[in-house]
Structures are given as structure tokens and as C-alpha cells.
Chain A
Amino acid sequence: MRISNQQLFWMIMMLNVGINLLIAISLVIQDGHQDAWMSSMISGLIGVAASYLGTRLALRHPGQTLVEFSGVILGKWLGKLILLPYLFQWYIVIPLIMRDQYTFVHINVLFMTPVWMVVGPMLLVIVYAVYHGGIEAIARCTQVWSPILLVILLITFGVTINNLDWKALFPVYALTGAGPILKGSLVPAALLGESVNVMMLAAFVDKPGRGTQRAAVSGVLLAALFITIGILWVIMTFGWHIASKLKYPFFDMVKLVYLMEFIQNMDVFIMAVWLVSIFIKMSVYVFVASYGTAQWVGKTGKWRSFIWLPAVTTFILAMLIIRMNVPNRLVLNYLWVGTILPLNSFLIPLLLLIVSVIRFPAGSGKPGAVQPDGGEREQTQTAGEASNENQDSRDAKSTNAGTQGKAYYS
């Protein structure tokens, strides 16, 4: 399984753009009022910092995922212990996104359809993609869809332009002040901070290096840019009073499109694109969760048989969350902003990075020399450590990598 830096870039972008445009916008505006776009910019910076930290750490241990290099850095048991928050995050985030997807689809199109019918097929498709192609299939899918997503978003911004009233953005700063603006930035920052999971993905990049770092950082930046424009547009369309009271203001903004009598009801496009973005995000998390768990218990080669774990927990948890109707605000404000953003996105990676720098100063040989697990990762790692000049031989290696040597890699 190999992905390119470019694919990583698209993946990071896709992971962030969809979910933020859908669920974060009204929460940001509730705090940031007419200055919510500043909150969004700040959250972009926080997201960039997280992804920079993640890649920085991952690149010190090329070819190793977070699960592997945390063991290398902190030792076997401490390394496993410190991964628990991540495992928790991976397993809880998928049902939460699934819930958002269900709520959205339920309220807008499939009102009578039972929950399992909305959640189940989506999960099936995800499991199918992850099982057959792993991260590579997801990356290729992203590469196909991202440009389409970008074009549709740009068209959306274009056709909604005549509904905008720039006056809604004024006064800038004065009536909100620094506190609310910073507070508003926390929710999208927590979501963008999830980009720190690039630590799990960077190991699969075919040319690890500065390019990887640039891909991760610019992916977050592009996503933050689109979210900021989205927020600007929403405020200028509805004014912050209305926008902060709507559940899906971005979607409502697209519903307003009415141009030359026949360009209207554009919302279906946005819905389609958004579902693809959500699909990518959940697939990546299912992959990360199953692969991470497999490595965590030391059975890297058999990671495919671990897919059922996130799949089943997602199904059960999603049904549970939907039935209990856990409010999104609560989840985002307490769990995401309160725990996952500081702990998973910054504290743990920072700790790992510091220990890594102390234990393996630059030039002291390969920090990845310790290899606790066997199986497929060994193959990938040798590929990662191989010299970067000979692309062909590396491709051949990963193609022949044991059970993965199937036709669709060639």
C-alpha cells in the first residue's frame, strides 16, 4: 500500500472540508458572530500547527506509523499505553460522523427510512473500500473526487454571490472582541486538529520528506481557506443572527440559489459532494482504526481481519448515539475541544517529539531500527528505508509483499 504526497494532500483536505462546512459553521458563528471568519482563520493556524507537529514526528521515523514509533520512542508498554486516547478517538469519531451523516440525510431526504438502512449501506461501502484496497484505494478515490469537490464548491460560491450583503460583516472586531472570537475558533480547531492523524498515514507515503510535510500542512490550509470562505459567505447571506440559529447554514445558503429561473435547487450537488467527503473521512478512520489496532496488538499482517472491529462498533455506537440523540454541541465542546484537541493533537505528539529528539538526536543512526512487529509492515518499512532513487524496485517490493500481491496493485 503506497500513497503519493499529492494523494496525502487531497486526503487531508477532504478530511477537513466536508465535516467543517456542515456541522462547524453555525457553532463558530454562535460565538464569533460577524467575526466568525477570524475564528476560522485562527482555527486554521491551530490545524496547521497540529499537522506540522504530526508530520514532523512521523518523518523522524520514516516508514513507521504512530503505533510503531510510539513503541520505539517510549518503549513497548508505555508506548502502548499512550496510544489509548488515539484508539478511543478513532473508534468514537466514526460513529459520531455517521450520526451526522444520518441526521443530515434523514432530515433532508429519507425521512421514513429506518436508521440501519442509512447507516448500514454506508458502512458496507466503507468496509468494502478499506478491505479491498486499504489506504491506497481511499487515496485514489480521494484523488478522483477532490478536484470535483473543489470545482463544485467554487461554483457554489460563485452562484450564491448575488445573495451576499457585505454589510453583514460589519463592524469588524469591535462588538465581539478577542474572547468570543478565540472561543469560536475552538470547534473547527478541534476538527482540523484531527489532521494530527497524519502520523498514521505518513508511513505509507512513497517519498517521505519535505514534500510530505508540505502536503499535510497545505492540505489543512486549503481546507481552512474553504471553511473561512464558507463562513464569510454564510454570514453575508443570512447575517450572523440567523446563521447561528440554523443547523446547516451552508446547505441552506445553497438552497437559496435562484438564478435566471432555471439554476435552482443546487442543494443536491452539495449533498452528493458532502457525502463523498464524509465517506472519505470515515474510510480513513476505519482504516486507521483497524490498522492501528492490529499493530497495537502486534498482528500487523492480519490487519484486514481487524476491520470488523471498527465496523461493528461503529454500527452499534452510531445506533446508540442516534437513539440517545447526544447533542453535537456537547460532543464537540467537551470531548473534542476539551480533551481530544489538547491531548491527542498537541500534548502527546509534543511529548513523543521531545523524547524522540532526546533519544535519537539527528545523525545518530536510524531511529526506526527497533522493529517489534513482523508481517507486512516489515516489508513496507524496508521499502521506506530503501534508497529513494529506485522507484521500480520499491514498487515491485510492495507488490510482492506477501498476501497483498494482488492484481489491483499492478
Chain B
Amino acid sequence: MWRKLAPVLLCMLLLTGCWDRLELNDRAILLGTGVDLLEDGRYMMTANIVVPLAAGSKGGNGGTPGFLTETAVGKDLTDAKQNMQKKLSRVAFSGHRRNIFIGESLARHGLSHLMDQYARSPDVRPRSNIYVVKGGTAQQAMSLFYKLETNPSIAVQKIQEKVGAPISRSLLDFFILINKDNCGVMPSLKLVDPEVEPVKKTDNDSPPQPTLEIEGIGIFNEELKLVGYMEMDDFWVRLWVTNRLKHRDQTESIGGKEDTVSIRLTHLKSKVTPEFNEDGVSFNILLKAKGEVIENNTALALADEQAVKDLEQQFEKILQSRAEQSIKKIQTGYGLDIFGLGDSIRMFHPYKWRRLEPNWENTFKKAEIKVRVDLNVRGTGLDLDSLVPERSREDSQ
């Protein structure tokens, strides 16, 4: 009897895991953290902590936010976290953290003495997003009350997904890029005010509030210093060239300013082919996409096959010049190969790459880059012809 019972009792003693026991009630779950650089050179960490009761009920909507923002200063992240713990009744737990925010001044100062903890600490998940807050501090971005979600930390992550960029891995992608290509990018956020400041007449009105917006990407050089931004208009070109863009609605004016056509681009693919000549390299970039016309404010009668073909060609030309401009901007402005063009040489012409690599930045700056777009418009929406009479639009031209 006792011989059988003894192991069971022993197990009961051991399996409680007393040393590392930490009840959920004792944890403060951090959903996002942000870091800013103070003027005296210390780091200020801001944390977005779930307020348990508010998050359980429909947090946020009633007016009380479902999160708590706490802040602390320290020499590095661990120091700051420990200082923050002095203000928290529960153990700060970053195992569920999804988002990391970096203030612009810190990004310009450089992240090389900061980012180690994001991968080394066993407390954190490798699957995180990291953002640089353009023209603001991480604290500003994180304090904002975002109405659709209980927490602004969750909001930006979902926005990112909706604009067609890869989700939840920008931290890993950043690490991969800076190790491989000596430059890095991370998505950038911006605090934006409504275009027109509305007047709140009664208490029940809900006019647009200042909010967060995914703006594009921040570009980092090999010292992990922020050197510039790529805005949404250019950002999608990089996503497309690097085969990461999932979808995009592209609007272009055909002819007059108001004669716009919008095409929903899907199945976006790219192929980069390097060509070698005496004085360097040139690249041919082929961008492929399938499209569907979803808005047509021109006089074009899209029921006609030929009209669609023409539209296709016009769009190809416009997209091509846009892409070339965007690439040129980066190439001459920063000289950083964030499009991964060097990869196409490294992958398929390794022996040439070995020769080019030491001086790649200069070679890249001088390289001639040609873009060709292959658009295949497969549909024109629900209308055969626009329900807006054609002559009304012809007159307006």
C-alpha cells in the first residue's frame, strides 16, 4: 500500500513546480512595448498592459480604455523593465507581446545597442512586429486610444495585414536583412489628425479622432541608424519587387485628372534578372500581376475587349514608370539595396557575387535598373458599361 502510494505523493510534491509557479493573476501581460531616447541618453520604455477586467468585458467601447500605459527609464531594456516593475503590482510578462515601437529620435540615434534583448531573452516571442514611429515618440503612439480595438498595439498589426504586407514578422525580417544585406527596413507608423478638424456638437457625436496609420517603411543603414522613409506610394513597390505584396488597389489617372481607373492587383510576382557588362551590373525587373477593374471614371467602354487591352497597356506603362521612380529614389538617395537586387546575383551568379560583394554599395548605386510590368486584366467588375452615362463624362473633359 505505502509502496504504491509513496511515488504518487512524491509526484504530487514535485509536479507543483513551486520554484517557477506564477499564477495568471500575478502577471501583467504586456501587449506592446515601446522605446524612446531621452535627451540625456537614457532609454525610456513604455508598456501597454492589458487591464484584465476591461479586456474581459467589451473593453474600450464605453470610454474606459482596455489597457494601461506605464513607463520607466533605464540604461537598457532590462533595466527599464526592472524599474517599471517598481510601479506594477504584477510581474511584467512579455510572452504575449506582439508589437514593439521605436521612437523616431531613437531610430535616428541607432538601434545597435538596444535590439539584442528582443531575440536573446527567453521571455519574448520571436514572432513580433517592430515599428518606427515617424515624427513622434513611441509613447505618443502607444498612449493613443484606438476605438476599434481594445488596444492600439493590436490595431497596427491588423492594419498592416490589411494593406497587403506580411504580418507579424517584421522583427525577424529586420534581423534577417541586417545580417544578410547590411541594411534593414521596418514598417513605419504615423500619428495623423483628421484631414479636416470636425466640430463636436453634442456629446454623442463621434467625429474622427487623431489616430495611427501605417505609413510605409523606415530605412536603416548598416549601423542600424534610421536614414529615411519610404512612403506608402513607394512602399508597395518594394513589397512587389521582393515578392511580398499580397494585394493592392492601384488608382491612376488616364488622360484627364478626374479620369481615374482603379484596378485591384492580385497574384503579384516579380523576377529580377541581373545582366553583367564591363562597367558593372544592370537589372531587369519583371513585375507580374493579375487585375480586376473595380472603378472606372473615364469614358472608356470596358465592355469592349480592345478598350481593356489598351487600358492594360496604359496601366503597365504607368506602373513601370512609378516603380522605376521609386527604385531610383532609393538608389540615388540612400544607396541601400533594400530591394534585395543583390540577392539575384548572390543566388544565381555566386562567383560574380564574390567579386562584387566588397564594393556592392557603389555598384548598386551605379546600376541601371529597368522595370517591365506585365499586367493581365481579367475582369471589369459587375457592370458591362458604367451606369453613369458616358456622355456626361465626355462633356466634363
Q: Which residue of B lies closest to A172 (CB)?
A: B350
Residues in B neighbouring A114, C-beta threshold 8 A = 19
Does B20 reach chain A (CB closer than 8 Å)?
A: yes
| Cα–Cα distance between A163 and B169 once the two chains are bound (Å) | 10
Does A262 reach chain B (CB closer than 8 Å)?
A: no
Residues in A neighbouring B180, C-beta threshold 8 A = 239, 241
Q: Which residue of B lies closest to A245 (CB)?
A: B179
Rounded to whole Å, the gap between the CB of A262 and the closest CB of chain B is: 14
Binds B, one of A66-74, A104-112, A216-224, A288-296: A104-112
| Cα–Cα distance between A174 and B348 once the two chains are bound (Å) | 10
Does A170 reach chain B (CB closer than 8 Å)?
A: yes
Residues in A neighbouring B176, C-beta threshold 8 A = 238-239, 241-242
Residues in A neighbouring B20, C-beta threshold 8 A = 109-113
| Cα–Cα distance between A114 and B125 once the two chains are bound (Å) | 25
| Cα–Cα distance between A14 and B106 once the two chains are bound (Å) | 49
Which residues of chain A in 297-342 are interfacial with respect to chain B, using CB atoms and an 8 Å cutoff? none
Residues in A neighbouring B119, C-beta threshold 8 A = 246
Residues in A neighbouring B19, C-beta threshold 8 A = 110, 112-114, 117
Q: Which residue of B lies closest to A108 (CB)?
A: B122
Query: Does A256 lie within 8 Å of B169, measured CB to CB?
Result: yes
Does B199 reach chain A (CB closer than 8 Å)?
A: no
Does A131 reach chain B (CB closer than 8 Å)?
A: no
Q: Which residue of B lies closest to A106 (CB)?
A: B122
Query: Does B179 lie within 8 Å of A174, measured CB to CB?
Result: no
| Cα–Cα distance between A238 and B350 once the two chains are bound (Å) | 20
Q: Out of B122, B168, B347, which one reaches A258, CB within 8 Å? A: B168
Query: Does B14 lie within 8 Å of A121, measured CB to CB?
Result: yes
Residues in A neighbouring B248, C-beta threshold 8 A = none
Does A81 reach chain B (CB closer than 8 Å)?
A: no
| Cα–Cα distance between A358 and B354 once the two chains are bound (Å) | 54
Q: Out of A107, A113, A174, A238, which one reaches B172, CB within 8 Å? A: A238
Q: Which residue of B lies closest to A176 (CB)?
A: B350
Mask: chain A, 230-247; 1 = CB below 8 Å from B; 0 = not: 000000001101100110
| Cα–Cα distance between A395 and B177 once the two chains are bound (Å) | 62
Which residues of chain B in 135-176 are interfacial with respect to chain A, using CB atoms and an 8 Å cutoff? 168-169, 172, 175-176
Rounded to whole Å, the gap between the CB of B180 and the closest CB of chain A is: 5
Q: Out of B14, B168, B175, B347, which one reaches A242, CB within 8 Å? A: B175
Residues in A neighbouring B168, C-beta threshold 8 A = 258
Rounded to whole Å, the gap between the CB of A349 and the closest CB of chain B is: 40
Does B353 reach chain A (CB closer than 8 Å)?
A: yes
Which residues of chain B in 174-207 are interfacial with respect to chain A, using CB atoms and an 8 Å cutoff? 175-176, 179-180
Query: Does A255 lie within 8 Å of B350, measured CB to CB?
Result: no
| Cα–Cα distance between A163 and B122 once the two chains are bound (Å) | 21
| A175 and B350 in contact, given A242-B175, A256-B127, A256-B172 (Cβ under 8 angstroms) | yes
Rounded to whole Å, the gap between the CB of B173 and the closest CB of chain A is: 10
Residues in A neighbouring B347, C-beta threshold 8 A = 167, 170-171
Which residues of chain B in 17-55 are interfacial with respect to chain A, using CB atoms and an 8 Å cutoff? 17, 19-20
| Cα–Cα distance between A117 and B175 once the two chains are bound (Å) | 36
| Cα–Cα distance between A238 and B171 once the two chains are bound (Å) | 12
| Cα–Cα distance between A170 and B350 once the two chains are bound (Å) | 9
Query: Does B125 lie within 8 Å of A255, measured CB to CB?
Result: yes
Does A385 reach chain B (CB closer than 8 Å)?
A: no
| Cα–Cα distance between A264 and B354 once the two chains are bound (Å) | 40
Does B365 reach chain A (CB closer than 8 Å)?
A: no
| Cα–Cα distance between A109 and B169 once the two chains are bound (Å) | 24
Rounded to whole Å, the gap between the CB of B6 and the closest CB of chain A is: 12
| Cα–Cα distance between A171 and B346 once the two chains are bound (Å) | 6
Residues in B neighbouring A107, C-beta threshold 8 A = 122
Query: Does A256 lie within 8 Å of B348, measured CB to CB?
Result: no
Residues in B neighbouring A239, C-beta threshold 8 A = 176, 179-180
Does B2 reach chain A (CB closer than 8 Å)?
A: no
Which residues of chain A in 142-175 are interfacial with respect to chain B, using CB atoms and an 8 Å cutoff? 163, 167, 170-171, 174-175
Query: Does B127 lie within 8 Å of A175, measured CB to CB?
Result: no
Query: Does B14 lie within 8 Å of A170, measured CB to CB?
Result: no
Mask: chain B, 119-137; 1 = CB below 8 Å from A; 0 = not: 1001001110000000000
| Cα–Cα distance between A107 and B20 once the two chains are bound (Å) | 12
Query: Does B126 lie within 8 Å of A174, measured CB to CB?
Result: no
Does B343 reach chain A (CB closer than 8 Å)?
A: yes
Residues in A neighbouring B346, C-beta threshold 8 A = 170-171, 175
| A174 and B169 in contact, given A112-B19, A113-B20, A255-B125 (Cβ under 8 angstroms) | no
Query: Does A242 lie within 8 Å of B127, measured CB to CB?
Result: no
Residues in A neighbouring B351, C-beta threshold 8 A = 174
Q: Which residue of B lies closest to A174 (CB)?
A: B350
Does A100 reach chain B (CB closer than 8 Å)?
A: no
Does A252 reach chain B (CB closer than 8 Å)?
A: yes
| Cα–Cα distance between A153 and B285 once the two chains are bound (Å) | 39
Mask: chain A, 337-363; 1 = CB below 8 Å from B; 0 = not: 000000000000000000000000000
Residues in B neighbouring A264, C-beta threshold 8 A = 127
Mask: chain A, 253-288; 1 = CB below 8 Å from B; 0 = not: 001101000001000000000000000000000000
Q: Out of B14, B122, B126, B348, which one reaches A171, CB within 8 Å? A: B348
| Cα–Cα distance between A171 and B175 once the two chains are bound (Å) | 20
| Cα–Cα distance between A340 and B176 once the two chains are bound (Å) | 36
Rounded to whole Å, the gap between the CB of B4 and the closest CB of chain A is: 14
Residue of A109, A171, A256, A258 with most partner-chain B CB within 10 A: A171
Residues in B neighbouring A174, C-beta threshold 8 A = 350-351
| Cα–Cα distance between A174 and B345 once the two chains are bound (Å) | 12
Query: Does A255 lie within 8 Å of B122, measured CB to CB?
Result: no
Query: Does A113 lie within 8 Å of B17, measured CB to CB?
Result: yes
| A242 and B169 in contact, given A113-B17, A255-B127 (Cβ under 8 angstroms) | no
| Cα–Cα distance between A363 and B351 once the two chains are bound (Å) | 58
Q: Out of B122, B125, B179, B348, which one reaches A170, CB within 8 Å? A: B348
| Cα–Cα distance between A264 and B127 once the two chains are bound (Å) | 10
Rounded to whole Å, the gap between the CB of A265 and the closest CB of chain B is: 8
Mask: chain A, 88-130; 1 = CB below 8 Å from B; 0 = not: 0000000000000000000111111110010001000000000
What 17 additional pairs, Cβ within 8 angstroms, besides A112-B20, A174-B350, A245-B179? A108-B122, A110-B20, A111-B122, A170-B347, A171-B346, A171-B347, A171-B353, A175-B354, A238-B176, A239-B176, A242-B172, A242-B179, A255-B125, A255-B126, A256-B127, A256-B169, A264-B127
Would you give 24 A-B contacts (Cβ < 8 Å), ordered by A?
A: A107-B122, A109-B20, A110-B17, A112-B19, A113-B19, A113-B20, A114-B19, A117-B19, A170-B346, A171-B346, A171-B347, A171-B350, A174-B350, A175-B346, A175-B350, A238-B176, A241-B176, A242-B172, A242-B175, A242-B179, A245-B179, A256-B169, A258-B127, A264-B127
- 5 smallest A-B Cβ distances: which pairs? A174-B350, A170-B347, A171-B350, A241-B179, A113-B19
